[in-house]
Amino acid sequence: MFGLMDVFLKNDSVSLQKDILDHVEYTVARSRFSFDDFEAYQALSHSIRDRLIERWHDTHLYVKKQDPKRVYFLSLEFLMGRSMTNSVINLGIRDQYADALNQLGFEFEVLAEQEGDAALGNGGLARLSACLMDSLATLDYPAWGYGLRYQYGLFRQIILDGFQLEQPDYWLNFGNPWEIERVHVSYSVKFYGTVEEEDLDGERTKVWIPGETVEAVAYDNPIPGYGTRSALNLRLWAAKPSDKYDMESYNTGDYINAIMNRQKAETISNVLYPDDRSYQGKELRLKQQYFFVSASLQDIIRRFKDNHQNFDELPDKVALQINDTHPALAIVELMRMLLDEEHLDWNRAFEITCKIFSFTTHTVEPGGLEKVPVDLLGHLLPRHLQIIYEINYKFMEELKKIIGQDYDRLSRMSIIEEGAVKNVRVANLSIVCSHTVNGVSKVHLQLLKERVFKDFCELWPQKFHYKTNGVTQRRWVVVSNPNLCSLISKWLGTESWIRNVDLLGGLRQYATDPDLQREWKMAKKVNKLRLAEYIETLSGVKVSLDAMFDVQVKRIHEYKRQLLNILGVIHRFDCIKNMSASDKGKVVPRVCIIGGKAAPGYDIAKKIIKLCHAVADKINNDADVGDLLKLVFIPDYNVSVAELVIPGSDLSQHISTAGHEASGTGSMKFLMNGCLLLATADGSTVEIMEEVGAENMFIFGAKLDEIPALREKGASLKAPLQFARVVRMVRDGYFGFEDYFKSLCDTLEEEKDFYLLGYDFTSYLEAQAAADRAFVDQEKWTQMSILSTAGAGKFSSDRTIEEYAKHTWGIEPCKCPF
């Protein structure tokens, strides 16, 4: 007889070595006596994957038996980054693997660099999904993630002569050992066609006769929790041609064309759309959304039906979270399944649906909300459009009873937008059919109430909440900053903070301890060295480790104000150029680092990238300036680049115009890594100030409640002379490309300066000067740095998930006992 422990894979160094060599020979099919780093990475990842699968099976069997209520997290985007280091850390076998590899003559860190970066998402929303999955697994919640398996992830950013070029990210080129293809888990997804009425047992029912069928095949990605055997599943769907329905085309004899047509099916999951409003209303995007939603719901309902017959129990077993409006068709699809396939009556179907769905919005501007042209939706999904109209009709009738004949308000709240082009307002649909709607920070909820969803918040105040975003300390400290990680554990006397991040607060008492300060500075230095080497290889710019590393990395957007940062750098450059030699001695040396992608069609954002390069060219080659100021652009910012950049930063900037960043999560990663924040009181920064204390940050800029009046004043707001001067330098061609930068400079004209760069410039420079003064006093700086990490506890996604679980989903942990 086997004992239970004997059936598990062994994790001692000798077993791991054998295991890796077996995978070299049988999985990678190379000789165990001769294989290179990449082959070693492949073998290693398969060995790790085996251990993931083991836990994942155990979790599934156990959860299936317990049959608790589960949450299904639906998102069109997940930014997972690399999996290998995260997996061995969460499995708790990193040291054993490092050891085994050393014996074989390899180094774990070197092999980890072989892995590509899974970038199936754009930015904040997508990385949040990944962090939430890590927390769900770590906290043993019964949960699944659902998404799309794009063959092309977010474009790779290449910089040529300072201009951004986009290149396809065919990330599956070298295989993906972290996924398991499930050819037998597949569902038919239907599109187009017509709706007809049929008699069913004497009742008239609607029947959708679809015109196209595509197969959705599951690819499973195990998500291991930390310090637990739980491993969750992230199921991503890929589109494949359907064999079932194209008999006819074969029979017509047009064999070649029939084959060619099959290829079209695969385009559905081919490419991730870059975040860009101009892609709204595109048929393929809508097809992606429905494809994803339909496959996921078929899977979820099949699982429910395994051991339940009565759909009234569905809300006790299933919670569906929709990540922004992108998966909102899930609501309509569930209605369709309950009505047309399960034959529930309307009221019962609608009541069940509303108990299941909850909706997170990540948007701050009413104009940014998703719309789908009615014609497009009716063409692609005729039955769904009928259901949407019916939901809206009933909603409007109810609403009239409550608010009377206020037609302006009724038309604002309608799910259908009337006009030259009729649109479905996807957010309105999501609000009407969800039991809970949440924003992603405290001020975001305020914006929802005052601006984005004013009418709905007044109608259903109890429906609206906020869940402040968080990030996982496993990825953002333990994986990416091992030096700081061991330092924290040493001083707290425990590693428990990795699962219970509130313990970080325990660092406060040592913030002025000279020993901790020394070790803290040393850890930062090592990380800065790593970053400096990276910068030098990328751009050839040598940077001094004594300089303050000042970093702004995030998607390029006008509201995020990378331009304010660059103008600040120009100002600093200008000051240094005009300084006496003795004053120069007092300048705090800076390395200004900017990185991020611009959406391919976002012209102004692309000009900001070019400006950054043009300014960098000038500054970095100026002998008067030398090491006092450097500007570098880090190309192709993604999760793995973030893992390198964030730990090596001294200062980080989060400088959106107040009221424009729903939350912001980058700031939280920097905070955990002991970087000081230079920020506006926007999004989650407001809550960071509550935790860390504004005295330990550099806060500047117009406040949220001042913005409307400032915009009103418009042209009468005089931007400071310093601002006019730096803008002039760009305009007059001091950095070249005069014509090209003209439209960028035009956005800063007084009456057009929507994001208030001119107004905020003075206080921005003051905040920068305060950062300089603080940096001179290294003891003070290090203390602030320690206090930043100590105050980061609230911003763990573990806290976020606990809040969702308790208040939104009503789910309990379900922990496998062995």
Residue 661 within binding range of ligand 26M, rule CB under 6 A? yes
Is 542 in the active site?
no
The yes or no reply on residue 440 touching ligand 26M (CB under 6 A) is: yes
Please state, as a whole number, how many other Cβ atoms lie within 10 Å of the Cβ of residue 100. Answer: 25
Would you state the structure tokens that stand for residue 453, as one six-digit string? 């969803």
Q: Provide the token pair at 565.
A: 């940062």
CB of 358 to ligand 26M, least distance (A): 15
For ligand 26M, the closer CB: 162 or 600: 600
Decide whether 517 or 656 has the Cβ nearer to ligand 26M: 656
Please say if 282 is a catalytic residue: no
Segment near ligand 26M (CB under 6 A); pick from 203-211, 269-277, 496-504, 702-710:
269-277
Interface pick for ligand 26M out of 224, 225, 664, 674 (rule CB under 6 A): 664
Q: Give the residue with the Cβ less far from ligand 26M, 87 or 323.
A: 323
Q: Cα(51)–Cα(799) distance, rounded to whole angstroms?
A: 28
Catalytic residue at 554? yes
Give the other-Cβ count within 10 Å of 692's Cβ. 23
- With CB under 6 A as the contact rule, the residue among 35, 97, 144, 273 that binds ligand 26M is 273
CB atoms within 10 A of CB 66: 12
Region near ligand 26M per CB under 6 A, out of 122-130, 447-455, 710-718, 800-808: 122-130
Q: Is 571 in the site for ligand 26M (CB under 6 A)?
A: no
Choose the stretch contacting ligand 26M; rule: CB under 6 A; options: 58-66, 225-233, 446-454, 662-670.
Answer: 662-670
Residue 227: HSE in the Cβ half-sphere, 13 Å Cα cutoff: 12
| Secondary structure in 3-state letters for 94-124 | HHHHHHHHHHHCCCHHHHHCCCCCEEECCCH
* Residue of 318, 274, 307 lying closest to 167 (CA atoms): 274
Instruction: Tell me if residue 669 is catalytic.
Output: yes
Near ligand 26M in 713-772, by CB under 6 A: none
Q: Which of these ranges, 118-126, 389-397, 500-508, 578-586, lies near ligand 26M under the rule CB under 6 A? A: 118-126
Using Cβ positions, the residue closest to ligand 26M within the complex turns out to be 124
CB of 84 to ligand 26M, least distance (A): 25
Buried-state track 127-154, b at ≥16 Cβ within 10 A, e below 16? bbbbbbbbbbbbbbbbbbbbbbbbbbbb
Q: Quote the CA–CA distance of 8 and 233 in Å, as a whole number.
A: 20
Binding mask 138-177 for ligand 26M (x = CB under 6 A): ----------------------------------------
Among 467, 554, 557, 607, the one annotated catalytic: 554
Tokens of 98: 């490092």
678 within 8 A of 657, measured Cβ to Cβ: no
The CB-of-273 to ligand 26M minimum distance in angstroms stands at: 4
Give the chain's largest Cα–Cα span. 95
Helix (H, G, I), strand (E, B) or coil at 188: strand
CB of 642 vs ligand 26M, minimal distance in Å: 14
Out of 287, 610, 669, 815, which one is annotated catalytic? 669
Shortest Å distance, C-beta 469 to ligand 26M: 5
Please report how close the Cβ of residue 600 comes to ligand 26M at its closest, in angstroms.
11
Cα(184)–Cα(172) distance, integer angstroms = 21
The CA angle 654-506-694, to the nearest 5 degrees, is 30
**Residue of 560, 561, 660, 794 marked active site:** 560
Binding segment for ligand 26M (CB under 6 A), chosen from 56-64, 250-258, 278-286, 542-550, is: 278-286
Q: Choose between 122 and 562: whose C-beta lies nearer to ligand 26M.
A: 122
CB of 538 to ligand 26M, least distance (A): 26
Contacts to ligand 26M from residues 690-709, by CB under 6 A: none
- Looking at 15, 27, 270, 280, which residue binds ligand 26M (CB under 6 A)? 280
- The three state secondary structure string of 220-246 is EEEEECCCCCCEEEEEEEEEEECCCCC
The structure tokens 């699982």 sit at 303
Q: Which residues of 651-681 are buried (b: 16+ CB within 10 A; e: fewer)?
A: bbbbbbbbbbbbbbbbbbbbbbbbbbbbbbb
Does position 687 bind ligand 26M by CB under 6 A? Answer: no
Q: Which two tokens stand for residue 154?
A: 């977010």
Question: What is the distance in angstroms between the CA of the first residue and the CA of the last residue of the chain?
Answer: 18
Among the listed residues 665, 685, 800, 808, the single catalytic one is 665
Q: By CB under 6 A, is residue 683 in contact with ligand 26M?
A: yes
Size of site (CB under 6 A) for ligand 26M? 20
User: Whole-number minimum distance, CB 368 to ligand 26M, in Å?
Assistant: 8
> Among 47, 221, 321, 665, which residue interacts with ligand 26M (rule: CB under 6 A)?
665
The order of strands in the sheet holding 676-680 is: 629-634, 590-595, 548-553, 651-654, 676-680, 698-700
- Residues 663, 785, 788, 797: which binds ligand 26M (CB under 6 A)? 663
Cα angle 187-192-196, degrees, rounded to a multiple of 5: 100
Cβ proximity to ligand 26M: between 192 and 279 the closer is 279
Residues 340-369 that bind ligand 26M (CB under 6 A): 362
Q: Is 662 in the site for ligand 26M (CB under 6 A)?
A: yes
- The minimum distance between CB 77 and ligand 26M, in angstroms, equals 6
Q: Which residue has the tokens 């259908």?
A: 416
**DSSP codes, 30-60:** --TTS--HHHHHHHHHHHHHHHHHHHHHHHH
d(CA 257, CA 252): 10
For ligand 26M, which stretch binds (CB under 6 A), given 419-427, 485-493, 663-671, 809-817?
A: 663-671
Asked whether 796 and 478 are in contact (CB, 8 A), the reply is no
Q: Which residues, other chains included, contact 283 with Cβ-Cβ below 8 Å and sequence gap of 6+?
A: 376, 380
Task: Please tell me whether residue 128 binds ligand 26M under the rule CB under 6 A.
Answer: yes
Residues found near ligand 26M in the complex (CB under 6 A): 122-125, 128, 273, 275-276, 279-280, 285, 362, 440, 469, 661-665, 683
Query: Active-site residues: which are they?
Result: 362, 554-555, 560, 665, 669
